[in-house]
């Protein structure tokens, strides 16, 4: 199947689909087998067609872009012609046209989900919003295909009824939580000592609880779907904008980390690489940072990021593979565990706090996971499974890596692994390849939010979108070259941004939205978490900045 439908044909199809949906809505009351009462159906449709008052302020693209960034594909997708799964695949191609026009108009006009799992869901009736505007369709008409359709184009079901299952939600959660942070947990243990490792467990417990608080906030009012929606419900439009900016800065900083990561690991593989031209000398770090930027730039220009989102879902596999390689090197290849380490390294403990905090920076996506669930009551169990699995992996890597490499542990344990071992090469190359699939998806929410600010009479031009995205990519290269310290930058992100997103803001929003309905224990616990998050943020940010300035001065 080709994905070559023009923008014009896409919008024509959308208008035809809207006409069909209206016809279906008028006739649905006649089907007593699916609707017990036509008046009930009409009432439902009226409620479904109410606009989402929380999705009218900037950014309006948050839900769709974060779904695309974080989704794990549904295992039900197949390639058998004429089957329902093929029509669902056709729907994915259609809805992926969201990226074809980088404009808020297309974001507002498309209610079709982006991807299976998180995005290809039909929001349950108790959580209707602007993403569930279509009336129910009798089953006899679900698979209708227009006769005048082009051969390269397969119609899709109306509405798409796929929802996120328990397994998909767990994979989505692990994919978000277990990212590049796992590479630095050994370094965090070296910076904080064995006692400092307890901070990882504390943050895991607190972050799990604040993730639950986000679910309570979503249930507090109809129409709440995303983290910015929660911010708006708690603190008005200013709260929505402030939280959105924090989330986007965190995503942008992750892209900077990807550039530094590529530079460090490729320099390890090819230490003698360099380039000279016009009197300028580029060493291996600068050269590979530039090459990585040039490699990811075309992916950021892509109008259809669906393929990348499918590939990046392998982030879970990549993380597990890298962990297995580390254990293999220590247990099988004979590197062994020699270092006893230090019990507590107080001077650099704040750096470790930021690194451990970064490990639990998935709260921006938790609301999307919750609102996509087929059974929302499974959310606590899903969250618990995700945190337990990720914490076990983090703690295992932190302990094994520190015992293997001791005080020589670097910011990424892949930099310590012996170069001549097969397991080491697998780990390094996996670390190198993975960010290439994630960079564009991570930057896309930031780019789309900025493209919403383009004047309305210029939004149809792709030039502005290309300029914005190119500027963002180049700026990450500049920042990555200016501050090429992977561990310290990660500690700064974890201290300054993740503490806000994962600890402070969920509690503040919960107390604001549900004030008067909370117990004294909940209020006390939220205040305690806000205090812990604020203190950790202050010390971690100061320490990380001090270390960065000290490193730059050398």
Q: How sure is the predictor about 70, in pLDDT bands with cuts at 50, 70 and 90?
A: low
196 close to 148: Cβ distance less than 8 angstroms: no
Which residues 6+ apart lie within 8 Å of 304 measured at CB?
A: 3, 93, 96, 97, 99, 100
The residues with which 276 forms a beta bridge, in sequence order, are 281
What pLDDT sits at residue 76? 38
| Residue closest to 545 by CA, chosen among 478, 496, 476 | 496
Q: Of the ranges 14-18, 81-85, 499-503, 534-538, which one carries the lowest mean pLDDT score?
A: 81-85
| Residue spans of alpha helices (H) in 96-165 | 104-109
In this predicted structure, the answer to whether residue 129 has a pLDDT above a threshold of 60 is no
Determine the Cα angle at 301 with ends 298 and 303, to 5°: 125
What pLDDT sits at residue 535? 96
Q: How sure is the predictor about 112, in pLDDT bands with cuts at 50, 70 and 90?
A: very low
Burial class (CB in 10 A: 0-12, 13-18, 19+), 45: middle
226 close to 234: Cβ distance less than 8 angstroms: no
What pLDDT sits at residue 53? 60
Instruction: Give the pLDDT confidence of 388-412 residue by residue, as tens digits.
Output: 999 999 999 999 999 999 999 999 9
Percent of the chain with pLDDT over 70: 72
Q: How sure is the predictor about 26, in pLDDT bands with cuts at 50, 70 and 90?
A: very low
251 close to 476: Cβ distance less than 8 angstroms: no
In this predicted structure, the answer to whether residue 67 has a pLDDT above a threshold of 90 is no
**Residue boundaries of the structural domains of the chain:** 166-552
Instruction: Tokens for 224, please give them.
Output: 């709440």
Domain 166-552 classified CATH 1.20.1740.10?
yes
In this predicted structure, the answer to whether residue 384 has a pLDDT above a threshold of 80 is yes
| Residue closest to 488 by CA, chosen among 419, 429, 410, 395 | 410
Q: How sure is the predictor about 34, in pLDDT bands with cuts at 50, 70 and 90?
A: very low
Q: How sure is the predictor about 55, in pLDDT bands with cuts at 50, 70 and 90?
A: low
Q: What is the mean pLDDT of the chain?
A: 77
395 close to 527: Cβ distance less than 8 angstroms: no
C-alpha span between 163 and 374 (Å, rounded): 5
Instruction: Give the pLDDT confidence of 181-224 residue by residue, as tens digits.
Output: 999 999 999 999 999 999 999 999 999 999 999 999 999 988 89
C-alpha span between 262 and 289 (Å, rounded): 7
Instruction: Give the pLDDT confidence of 338-357 residue by residue, as tens digits.
Output: 878 889 999 999 999 999 99
499 close to 244: Cβ distance less than 8 angstroms: no
Mean pLDDT of 413-433: 93
Q: Of the ranges 76-90, 294-308, 516-530, which one carries the lowest mean pLDDT score?
A: 76-90
Report which secondary-structure segment, H or E, holds 405. Answer: helix 379-405
| Residue 551 zone, left/alpha/beta (φ > 0; ψ -120 to 50; rest) | alpha
218 close to 370: Cβ distance less than 8 angstroms: yes
Reply yes or no: is the peptide bond before residue 59 cis, omega within 30 of 0: yes
What pLDDT sits at residue 57? 77
What is the DSSP code string of 444-458? HHHHHHHHTTS-GGG
C-alpha span between 74 and 71 (Å, rounded): 9
In this predicted structure, the answer to whether residue 380 has a pLDDT above a threshold of 70 is yes
C-alpha span between 348 and 326 (Å, rounded): 25
Instruction: Give the pLDDT confidence of 137-158 residue by residue, as tens digits.
Output: 333 333 433 433 333 333 323 3
C-alpha span between 370 and 70 (Å, rounded): 13
Mean pLDDT of 480-505: 95
In this predicted structure, the answer to whether residue 439 has a pLDDT above a threshold of 50 is yes
In this predicted structure, the answer to whether residue 16 has a pLDDT above a threshold of 50 is no
Which residues 6+ apart lie within 8 Å of 94 measured at CB?
A: 5, 10, 13, 112, 156
Report which secondary-structure segment, H or E, holds 280. Answer: strand 280-282
Instruction: Tokens for 285, please give them.
Output: 């770090």
355 close to 185: Cβ distance less than 8 angstroms: yes
Query: What DSSP state is assigned to residue 68?
Result: H
CA atoms within 13 A on the CB side of 212: 13
Report which secondary-structure segment, H or E, holds 277. Answer: strand 275-277
What pLDDT sits at residue 491? 95
Instruction: Give the pLDDT confidence of 237-287 residue by residue, as tens digits.
Output: 999 999 999 999 999 999 999 999 999 999 999 988 888 877 788 899 999
Q: Is 345 helix (H, G, I), strand (E, B) or coil?
A: coil
C-alpha span between 63 and 244 (Å, rounded): 11
**Of 491 and 95, the one with more pLDDT:** 491
Torsion of CA 388, 392, 398, 401, to 10 degrees: -150
C-alpha span between 527 and 539 (Å, rounded): 18
Tally of residues, the chain:
554
Q: How sure is the predictor about 72, in pLDDT bands with cuts at 50, 70 and 90?
A: low
CA atoms within 13 A on the CB side of 246: 23
C-alpha span between 441 and 536 (Å, rounded): 30
C-alpha span between 414 and 404 (Å, rounded): 12
Which residues 6+ apart lie within 8 Å of 248 measured at CB?
A: 59, 445, 446, 449
C-alpha span between 343 and 352 (Å, rounded): 13
Determine the Cα angle at 254 with ends 252 and 256, to 5°: 75
């Amino acid at each position: 199947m080709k994905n070559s439908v023009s923008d014009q044909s896409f919008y024509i199809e959308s208008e035809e689909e809207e006409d069909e949906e209206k016809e279906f809505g008028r006739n649905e009351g006649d089907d007593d087998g699916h609707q017990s009462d036509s008046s009930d159906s009409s009432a439902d449709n009226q409620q479904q067609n109410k606009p989402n008052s929380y999705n009218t302020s900037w950014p309006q693209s948050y839900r769709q872009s974060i779904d695309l960034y974080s989704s794990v594909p549904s295992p039900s997708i197949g390639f058998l012609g004429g089957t329902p799964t093929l029509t669902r695949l056709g729907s994915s191609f259609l809805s992926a046209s969201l990226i074809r026009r980088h404009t808020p108009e297309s974001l507002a006009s498309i209610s079709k989900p982006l991807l299976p799992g998180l995005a290809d869901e039909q929001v349950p009736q108790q959580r209707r919003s602007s993403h569930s505007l279509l009336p129910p369709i009798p089953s006899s008409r679900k698979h209708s295909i227009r006769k005048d359709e082009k051969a390269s184009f397969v119609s899709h079901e109306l509405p798409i009824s796929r929802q996120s299952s328990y397994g998909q939600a767990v994979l989505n959660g692990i994919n978000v939580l277990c990212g590049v942070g796992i590479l630095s947990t050994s370094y965090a243990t070296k910076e904080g000592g064995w006692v400092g490792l307890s901070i990882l467990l504390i943050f895991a417990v607190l972050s799990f609880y604040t993730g639950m608080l986000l679910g309570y906030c979503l249930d507090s009012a109809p129409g709440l779907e995303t983290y910015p929606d929660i911010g708006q419900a708690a603190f008005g439009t200013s709260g929505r904008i402030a939280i959105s900016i924090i989330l986007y800065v965190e995503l942008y900083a992750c892209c900077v980390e990807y550039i530094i990561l590529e530079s460090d690991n490729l320099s390890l593989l090819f230490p003698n690489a360099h380039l000279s031209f016009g009197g300028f000398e580029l060493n291996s770090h600068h050269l590979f940072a530039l090459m990585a930027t040039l490699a990811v730039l075309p992916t950021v220009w892509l109008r259809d990021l669906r393929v990348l989102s499918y590939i990046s879902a392998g982030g879970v596999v990549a993380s597990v593979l890298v962990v297995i390689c580390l254990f293999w090197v220590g247990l099988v290849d004979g590197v062994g565990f020699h270092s006893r380490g230090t019990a507590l390294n107080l001077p650099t403990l704040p750096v470790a706090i930021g690194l451990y905090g970064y490990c639990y920076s998935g709260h921006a996506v938790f609301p999307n996971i919750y609102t996509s669930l087929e059974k929302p009551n499974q959310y606590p169990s899903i969250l618990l499974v995700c945190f337990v699995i990720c914490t076990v992996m983090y703690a295992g890597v932190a302990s094994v890596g520190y015992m293997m490499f001791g005080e020589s542990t670097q910011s990424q344990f892949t930099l310590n692994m012996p170069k001549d071992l097969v397991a080491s090469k697998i780990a390094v190359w996996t670390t190198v390849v993975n960010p290439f699939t994630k960079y564009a998806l991570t930057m896309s929410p930031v780019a789309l939010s900025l493209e919403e600010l383009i004047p309305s009479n210029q939004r149809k031009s792709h030039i502005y979108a290309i300029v914005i995205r190119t500027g963002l990519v180049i700026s990450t290269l500049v920042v990555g070259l200016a501050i090429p310290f992977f561990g310290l930058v990660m500690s700064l992100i974890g201290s300054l941004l993740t503490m806000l997103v994962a600890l402070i803001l969920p509690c503040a929003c919960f107390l604001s939205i549900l004030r008067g309905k909370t117990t004294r224990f909940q209020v006390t616990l939220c205040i305690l978490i806000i205090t812990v998050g604020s203190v950790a943020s202050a010390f971690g940010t100061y320490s990380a900045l001090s270390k960065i300035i000290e490193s730059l001065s050398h």
